[in-house]
Chains A and B, each alone.
Chain A
Amino acid sequence: EAQVTQNPRYLITVTGKKLTVTCSQNMNHEYMSWYRQDPGLGLRQIYYSMNVEVTDKGDVPEGYKVSRKEKRNFPLILESPSPNQTSLYFCASSLSYDIGSPNYGYTFGSGTRLTVV
């Protein structure tokens, strides 16, 4: 089944303890992206990647890191989590980042509910 797999689904951690949220897609998609969802704010982009070893910042990158060493994986790293990073996180992928392409279209993971205490 074509999908984007995020883990874990839920995570409670303490301030300052490094964590990684994994994201993997099995569709050979070029483009991958991380969003955070907060009540009243919708989704905001954290980082995106257009292909292996190509990543760039979105609107809210502070406090986050990403890497794209393989096409299928795009982990989100919080080096020193803080309570303001408590949120619902989504990974998404697309075969093409070119919206004019017939292959354009996001597939989303099921989300990771992160609580930092």
Chain B
Amino acid sequence: AQTVTQSQPEMSVQEAETVTLSCTYDTSESDYYLFWYKQPPSRQMILVIRQEAYKQQNATENRFSVNFQKAAKSFSLKISDSQLGDAAMYFCAYRSAMDSNYQLIWGAGTKLIIKP
């Protein structure tokens, strides 16, 4: 069974600086998708970025980018120019391309604190 591990329960960063959140996963599959979701205090789950395993190019969305290392099974999220609105729980999630449950497998989350 696939697992997703986020080893940093909490991270803090100074406003305007860069922070990297770690995520590793375990799978025997070669075709899958990885996601980062943001959960602010409002509890709404918001998709930040998505990466297809077959793509070598790292996904980027404005200030958010990933470092996808398929051989190492690592999928870290880099947030540049951190803003107060980035404060939230961040979840890494895995989705098999072949999973009959069609479900996302989630990490435990990392709480990101932005210091003004």
**Could you tell me which A residues sit within 8 Å of B by CB distance?**
31, 33, 40-45, 48, 50, 56, 58-59, 88, 90, 92, 97, 99-100, 105-106, 108, 110-111
Contact = CB atoms under 8 A, between A and B. Distances in A.
Main secondary structure of the interface of B (DSSP, over half): loop
Contacts, number: 50
Interface string B63-84: 0000000000000000000000
B108 A41 contact: yes
B107 A33 contact: no
Interface in B90-116: 91, 93, 95, 97, 101-104, 106-109
26 contacts: A33-B102, A33-B103, A40-B9, A42-B4, A42-B91, A42-B106, A42-B108, A43-B91, A44-B106, A45-B101, A45-B104, A50-B102, A56-B101, A58-B101, A58-B103, A59-B103, A90-B45, A99-B102, A105-B47, A106-B104, A108-B44, A108-B45, A110-B42, A110-B43, A111-B43, A111-B44
B92 to A, nearest CB: 9
A110 B44 CA distance: 5
Nearest to A94: B102
Contacts of A42: 4, 6, 91, 106-109
Interface of B: 4, 6, 9, 33, 42-45, 47, 91, 93, 95, 97, 101-104, 106-109
A33 to B, nearest CB: 7
B108 A40 contact: yes
A62 to B, nearest CB: 16
Contacts of B91: 42-43
A31 B104 CA distance: 13
